[in-house]
Amino acid sequence: MGASAGGLEAYRRVLAELPADLPAAVFAVIHMPANAPGLLAQVLGRHARMPVYEAEDGERIREGRVYVARPDHHLLVARDRVRVLRGPKQNRSRPAIDVLFRSAAVAFGPRVIGVVLSGNLDDGTAGLSAIKNRGGYAIVQDPSDAEFSGMPQSAVNHVQVDEQPPLAAIGAAVIAAVGGDIDLPEPTTRPELEIEMRSDSGEGRMEDMQAIGTPSVFTCPECSGTLWEIGDHDLPRFRCRVGHAYSAESLVAEQDDAVEDALWAGLRSLEENATTARRMAERFRLRPATVTLSARYETKARVHDKHAAELRRLLTEKTPADKVPQEEPPTS
């Protein structure tokens, strides 16, 4: 299961519906700050019938348990054990949902049920696609029912999901999928998933990127390395050689943040320059021989003040993109 904004309440309600004797193991990722206190297992355990544990690297997978990701670490699964790794960030997050889903698809194929809950942007979409390609089952919270619809809507747009129930019915959908006789397709062989798995753990190589993608004109916001474009035509993704990964949407969001940071730094420089110019103007104004120089500094200060005011207005006002009404989501 994967969630982001609005996901804590979603997890509480879903886990409260799952029985203590569910014949499956549940793995849960929710986006969280790196310095979060690591109390997620305790918080969710108050509402769940199944025991909830913070995942430990190398422990055996046991059914009837919920394993939650720890802060600043990816949660993965192998054929017989849990993996907890501090690999490269993906979609601006660690833990990331795509990492968990992809590892489950590789390890267990058609035995996997992927669930995408409330959240912004689109982490989980590529991972859910991997689950479907390997013959698994995909459940996505109805976007109109989610507190934050970005992640569910992205999954619905790009993946042929099996169910889109409201939050109140997701627990029942999971129970039915675990115990039911579902007609699952034959898994598709995807060698690139194995390559991406190595990259997820921070063991990627340049040769790996050359095998599954092509160099793009973009650089990695994390390490400034070349980003390689991989994935399907309608679901492009980007990876650098050390393993940082971005969907198109998360890459744009990261670049937006970088632009804003640069503009705020530019505003600070303009205001500092204006202050320095005014001080120089005051100093030179006291001496008749340097009155002309004082006037030049006054002019500089006024120009910097004007530019700073324009830049501050640009940063604090809503942009045209913010004012554009959101389009209705396409019908599946």
Instruction: Return the closest-CA partner of residue 36 out of 6, 71, 4, 9.
Output: 71
Active-site annotation holds for 74: no
Beta bridge partners of 75: 84
Active-site annotation holds for 123: yes
Q: Residues 298, 281: contact at Cβ < 8 Å?
A: yes
Candidate list 98, 122, 123, 208, residue with the active-site label = 123
Tell how strand 245-247 and strand 237-240 pair up. antiparallel
Query: Which residue's structure tokens are 């793995």?
Result: 27
Q: Residues 65, 93: contact at Cβ < 8 Å?
A: no
Q: Residues 238, 246: contact at Cβ < 8 Å?
A: yes
* Residue 57: partners with Cβ closer than 8 Å, 6 or more residues away: 82, 83, 84, 85
Decide: residue 142, CB within 10 A, 0-12 exposed, 13-18 middle, 19+ buried.
Answer: middle
Cα–Cα distance between 149 and 163 in angstroms, integer? 16
Q: Residue 297: which H helix or E strand, with range?
A: helix 291-316
Candidate list 31, 73, 158, 304, residue with the active-site label = 31
Candidate list 4, 93, 118, 201, residue with the active-site label = 4
Residues noted as catalytic: 4, 31, 123
